[in-house]
Amino acid sequence: MRIVFFLTMKTNIKLIIAFLIISTGLCAQGVDDAVNFTQTRYEGTARSMSMGGATGAMGGDLTSLCINPAGLGLYRSSEFAFTTGLQHVNTLSSYYGDSQSDYQMRLSIPNVGLVTSWYASNYKPLRYLQFSVTLNRTNDFNYYSKASGVNPNSSMVDEYLQVANSIDDLLKPSTNPGDYLADNFPYDLSPAWETFLIDRYIDDSTGHYFFGSPVPPGNVDQTDVVSCKGRSEEWAFALAANYYDKLFLGASLGVSHIKRISKRDYTETGLDGSFDNWTHREELSDTLWGVNCKVGVIYYPTSWFRVGAAWHSRTRSSVGEIWATETATTIDRYRKYLSPELYQTYAFRSPHSFTGSVAFIFPRTMLTADVDYLDYGTSEFIGDGFENANNNIKDILKPSYNIRLGMEWRIRQYFFRSGAAYYGSPYGFGEKYGSTKKVALGFGFTTEGGTIWDFAYELSGSVRGYTPYQYYVDEENIVEDIVQRQWRNKLVVTMRVKM
């Protein structure tokens, strides 16, 4: 048995605030959630994916409308498109010198949509009008990971003890810890108390109470398993106009939808015989519905060059969230405690963004490039009680750039494509955590009946890190990050039918 105290008042305040946020159900609103609700990793049609998503000035593609709605103006006929694909996600997790590799495979529908085009005139300024309804996937949250290692320095119980031993009321003989923790810390300390993971003792020499645990301070085998399912997608209702076959204007109303279900099982196993094991499980479900608008322009200064620009408004979303925890211990015997289920609603607002695009058109070849700019630090949760979360967002998240490059080469009815993309880290320029790199190849052909079939393969890689818990010594969290290196392989096919 041991006792863990705070070393400084600064650390004391820091951890109490963190646990108060958790105990009031705000644990799911933080920097990581602002990133997940904001980041865009365009998928969509096979043509767009194989060109690295660099379709802002290219137009004439249902995914390009997500980037620049003026691209709708390049359609001269109506078209229906449908895309499906297979995704393989491999995650390599490293923790205290140990590495584990896990994977997940899923089918998906990255895009479906319809474009209608009306011919206006061949001699007046207005040549064509277009309208479209499309659904494009803008991010993917599906993965499975398992990290494990022997932590020589601490246990998650140390975090619990630091908080419990800093609360004066809990150390008074007149206070009932069970009632106090159930009212103030129902998702973490209360389950630990009810399963005897932590307990209150009296110091015979001083008569003071303190909290301790049979779990040793380090040299425990820790395993963290995360399973996440979900996606981010956008329904876009767009209008566009073609003037002189040189100037294209477009605007869209977007209805965004995010669905994310994540489960986390954190387990500690004793290596010295002082206890068998204990597990803390968290289950979180988020559903977001939001609205935004986009406006864009594409212009032909010459026949071989296009330039485009677009502005995306902030997306205001309504969020519904369900969260619960479960703690199970096997110390002297098996015990389990289920927390109350928390359901809450709140609002979230993502940053606006700007996109600049160019395309070079040669007789058989097209080269394209897009650059996005957005400031993740302007994301915010809306409502009472989010001051700490929003201040953390402003302090931690920074401006970022996304860069996409693409190439398409045509010979008769066949198309060959390649592309690459870099999505910058929301934590600042040059930061490795949170950035994504992509490379892609593609092939397409037109049948005699006019139907177009496109195929694409995309490989993307990213690195992220998170701390399973926080234990402070000399004002520093000494718990090592779990580092995840993730690779996503995607094979997609799109059928485009001209009408």
Q: How many CB atoms lie within 10 A of CB 206?
A: 8
pLDDT digit string, tens, across residues 102-145: 999 999 999 999 999 999 888 889 999 999 999 999 999 999 99
Q: What is the pLDDT of residue 271?
A: 87
Which of 2-16, 318-332, 412-426 is predicted with the least confidence, judged by mean pLDDT? 2-16
Asked whether residue 354 carries a pLDDT value surpassing 50, the answer given is: yes
When pLDDT is cut at 50, 70 and 90, the band that residue 332 belongs to is confident
pTM: predicted TM-score of the whole model, two decimal places: 0.88
Top pLDDT among 5 and 127 is at 127
C-beta separation of 253 from 313 below 8 A: no
Q: What is the pLDDT of residue 15?
A: 43
Domain CATH for 316: 2.40.160.60
Torsions phi, psi for 190 (to 5 deg) = -65, -45
For 168, the domain range is: 2-498
Burial class (CB in 10 A: 0-12, 13-18, 19+), 116: middle
Top pLDDT among 454 and 25 is at 454
Q: How many CB atoms lie within 10 A of CB 287?
A: 17
Q: What is the pLDDT of residue 25?
A: 33
Asked whether residue 4 carries a pLDDT value surpassing 70, the answer given is: no
Q: Quick one: CA torsion of 432, 438, 439, 441, rounded to 10 degrees?
A: 170
Q: What is the mean pLDDT of residues 330-342?
A: 92
Q: What is the pLDDT of residue 486?
A: 95
Q: What is the percent of the chain with per-residue pLDDT over 90, rounded to a whole number?
A: 80
Domain count for the chain: 1
Find all residues with CB under 8 Å of 19, minimum gap 6, and list them.
163, 185, 188, 189
Q: What is the percent of the chain with per-residue pLDDT over 70, rounded to a whole number?
A: 94
pLDDT digit string, tens, across residues 35-91: 999 999 988 999 999 999 999 999 999 999 999 999 999 999 999 999 999 999 999
Q: What is the pLDDT of residue 419?
A: 97
CA angle 388, 390, 396 (to 5 degrees): 100
Helices and strands of the chain, counted as H and E runs: 8, 24
Strand partners, 319: 288, 346
Top pLDDT among 274 and 277 is at 277
Q: What is the pLDDT of residue 432?
A: 78
Q: What is the mean pLDDT of residues 235-252?
A: 96
Which of 201-210, 336-345, 384-393 is predicted with the least confidence, judged by mean pLDDT? 201-210
